[in-house]
Amino acid sequence: MIEQTDKPVYASIPGIMAAFSISEATVHRLLNAGAFGSSKIGRARRIKIAEVEAYFESRRDQVDATGTRIARRMVK
């Protein structure tokens, strides 16, 4: 049996861009780096939202090259 939720499981690249306030180039850069995976269904590419959330959560308390703490916006 498939569990129904109010929150979608997969999103398109534009959906990820909107939900996480990141650019298309950043989404592609993270995909190419293996930060999270995607599936191609026909011509459409879909990304698991939970994997993107996990990636940003893992980076939450890290410091970038300039010494600034990386913080993630809370997604509604």
Residue by residue, pLDDT tens for the chain (76 residues) are: 666 667 779 999 999 999 999 999 999 999 999 999 999 999 999 999 999 999 988 887 766 555 555 555 554 4
Distances (CA, A) of 32 to 1, 29, 36, 63, 67: 33, 5, 9, 22, 25
pLDDT of res. 65: 58
Instruction: Report domain extents, the chain.
Output: 10-58
